[in-house]
Structures are given as structure tokens and as C-alpha cells.
């Protein structure tokens, strides 16, 4: 039997990956392991054979804890799901004792930074040039007024369309950005 570990298995992305693996042609022959930083969210994932608690991806002990699970369950493949774990697993791939199918660390880093990814796609002729709106940039209002509406605005980092809004006017864009900054969210 093949043994797979899906990190972030308590979140929506991890849950969907586990479901997809379980209903695949090989799904019944997989030993499906899941991990998460939140023990209680793992209880909701009914596709798992075994579940494990892992420290936060930024914790110094993350890789050693991950490797303990790999050794305990004879994990052949680690499939990280939330962005912080994708970033950490990509950066530490040489230390992880299981297969990892991720692009090179530079590509992963670019994909995790939505502005960097859009900039790369723009250079390839696939997208319009993105416009950065940063918390500490005094020219933000001028930038907001020059955007082509409608447009999408979103946080530079984070998954699931974090802080996304389809802005149909300057007013909506400005209010959306100011609302988050006024709440103490200093995201670009």
C-alpha cells in the first residue's frame, strides 16, 4: 500500500485534496494520512486513515516533526496544502525524508507572491501589468484613480483570494483598501 501525507488536511484545500485522492482509481489502496496545526479541524476530514498534529510551519521543529510522521507511517509522498507549509516544505525539501512534487523553490516563491506571479505573467504577455498598492505608499490614491475598472484587488499573499474584491469603481477600490488598513491589516 502507498502511504501519503497531506498537510493542512483540516482546511478546505487539504480536505479537497484528501477527497480527490480517496475517490481516485487508487484511492482504496492508499493509506491516507493528514496533518494540521489545529487538532480539532482534522476531526472533520472523514477521508483520513490517520491524523497528526504538526507545529506551525514557521516553528523551528516543523521539519523534524514532519519527518517523525514520515518515518512512523512510512510516508512515500508529502503533499503540502496551506501556503506557509508549501513554502517551508519547498525550502526544506532536501531535509524531508519523503518525495515532494513541487516546482523549484524560486517558482514556489513566485507563486506564493501574487504580485510577483502577475508580474511574471505580464512579462510573458499573458496579463495586464499589476499595480501594487502598499500601506506605506503616499501615491496610493493616484494609483487607485488610474486603475482600469472593473478590476480585481487582493492581498499580495494568502490563499483563497484573501482580501479580494471586484472593484467596479475608484470609490469601491479606495473604500475596500482603506477598510482593511483601518482594521490594522497592513497587507499590500
Which structural domains are found in the chain, ordered by start?
Answer: 2-109 (3.40.50.20), 125-182 (no CATH)
The pTM is what? Answer: 0.86
pLDDT digits 0-9 by tens, 149-159: 999 998 888 87
Residue with cell 513554502: 87
- What's the rounded Cα separation, in Å, for the pair 8 and 83? 9
Apex CA 41: angle with CA 30 and CA 55, to 5°? 85
Nearest to 37 by CA among 20, 67, 62, 5: 62
Does the pLDDT of residue 160 top 80, yes or no?
no
Amino acid at each position: 500500500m502507498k502511504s501519503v501525507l497531506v498537510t493542512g488536511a483540516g482546511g478546505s484545500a487539504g480536505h479537497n485534496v484528501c477527497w480527490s485522492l480517496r475517490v481516485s482509481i487508487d484511492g482504496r489502496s492508499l493509506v491516507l494520512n493528514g496533518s494540521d496545526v489545529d487538532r480539532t479541524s482534522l476531526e472533520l476530514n472523514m477521508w483520513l486513515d490517520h491524523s497528526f498534529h504538526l507545529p506551525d510551519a514557521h516553528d523551528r521543529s516543523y521539519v523534524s516533526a514532519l519527518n517523525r510522521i514520515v518515518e512512523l507511517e512510512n510516508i512515500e509522498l508529502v503533499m503540502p496544502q496551506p501556503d506557509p507549509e508549501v513554502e517551508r516544505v519547498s525550502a526544506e525539501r532536501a531535509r524531508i525524508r519523503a518525495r515532494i512534487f513541487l516546482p523549484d523553490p524560486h517558482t514556489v516563491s513566485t507563486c506564493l507572491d501574487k504580485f510577483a506571479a502577475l508580474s511574471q505573467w505580464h512579462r510573458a504577455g499573458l496579463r495586464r501589468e499589476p499595480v501594487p498598492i502598499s500601506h506605506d505608499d503616499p501615491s496610493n490614491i493616484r494609483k487607485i484613480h488610474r486603475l482600469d475598472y472593473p478590476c480585481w484587488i487582493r492581498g499580495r499573499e494568502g490563499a483563497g483570494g484573501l482580501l479580494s474584491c471586484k472593484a467596479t469603481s475608484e470609490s469601491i477600490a479606495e473604500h475596500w483598501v482603506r477598510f482593511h488598513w483601518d482594521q490594522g491589516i497592513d497587507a499590500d
